[in-house]
Chains A and B, each alone.
Chain A
């Protein structure tokens, strides 16, 4: 079982709709969770970090964490063509600073 799993996509979303991305992780002691966006040929850039159960909103982005079910999700509201990218889920265990990445979900927002 992979430590961090994501559907590779592509997730095709009409402009203006909500894109919903999911990520599951295998290590129950994981404490810190991150979503990064990576455009083709570029480096990952942080969108959101979340540490406790529940929702965290930042602009058009909402991260949701459920530690009991070991999943973290990202919602993108009012999707724009500029949101077309690969979204990477990353997890840090309780101790240390080793960041484990999922394979990423490619999102395509169609005008």
Chain B
């Protein structure tokens, strides 16, 4: 266990559904991340939050909406997704200090969009 938890672990949704992914870190970190991992593609960074403020949006479509209410919690709200959005969604956290940038990953949510 890395100290980063994600729920749900598996999710099947239709294209008209609205769902949310949740991430929680118990490491006292101040930076949190959402990544997408599709088959045969490198891990893609989606969003970065430092001290609850979004500092990176990697050209992610608006059907993905992140929310970071505090440094320990991160959400990814999903609506009107497409089948190509099916992937493993990974949350990570790190300490935003030089020399302590190691990111620790949660177990991921495997998403299937029908």
In the complex, are the beta carbons of B42 and A34 less than 8 A apart? no
Task: Name the distance in Å between B47's Cβ and chain A's nearest Cβ.
Answer: 11
| B94-114 interface with A by 8 A CB criterion | 94, 96, 99, 101-108
B27 within 8 A of A: no
A1 within 8 A of B: no
Q: Which residue of B lies closest to A2 (CB)?
A: B42
Residues of A within 8 A of B45 (CB): 98-100
In the complex, are the beta carbons of A34 and B43 less than 8 A apart? no
In the complex, are the beta carbons of B101 and A101 less than 8 A apart? no
Q: How far is the CA of A44 from the CA of B107 in the complex (A)?
A: 8
Most buried by B among A32, A43, A101: A43
Binding site secondary structure of chain A: strand
Q: Which residue of A lies closest to B55 (CB)?
A: A96
A76 within 8 A of B: no
A49 within 8 A of B: yes
Specify which of A46, A96, A97, A103 is in contact with B104 (CB 8 Å cutoff): A46
Residues of B within 8 A of A46 (CB): 102-104
In the complex, are the beta carbons of B56 and A98 less than 8 A apart? yes
B48 within 8 A of A: yes
Q: How far is the CA of A106 from the CA of B9 in the complex (A)?
A: 24
Task: Name the distance in Å between A10's Cβ and chain B's nearest Cβ.
Answer: 13
B31 within 8 A of A: yes
| A33-57 interface with B by 8 A CB criterion | 34, 36, 42-46, 49, 51
Q: How far is the CA of A108 from the CA of B11 in the complex (A)?
A: 30
Residues of A within 8 A of B94 (CB): 97
Given A43-B106, A97-B31, 8 new contacts (CB under 8 A):
A43-B107, A92-B101, A97-B96, A98-B45, A98-B56, A100-B45, A103-B41, A104-B42
* Residues of A near any B CB (own CB < 8 A): 4, 32, 34, 36, 42-46, 49, 51, 88, 90, 92, 96-104
* Residues of B near any A CB (own CB < 8 A): 2, 31, 33, 41-43, 45, 48, 50, 55-56, 88, 90, 94, 96, 99, 101-108
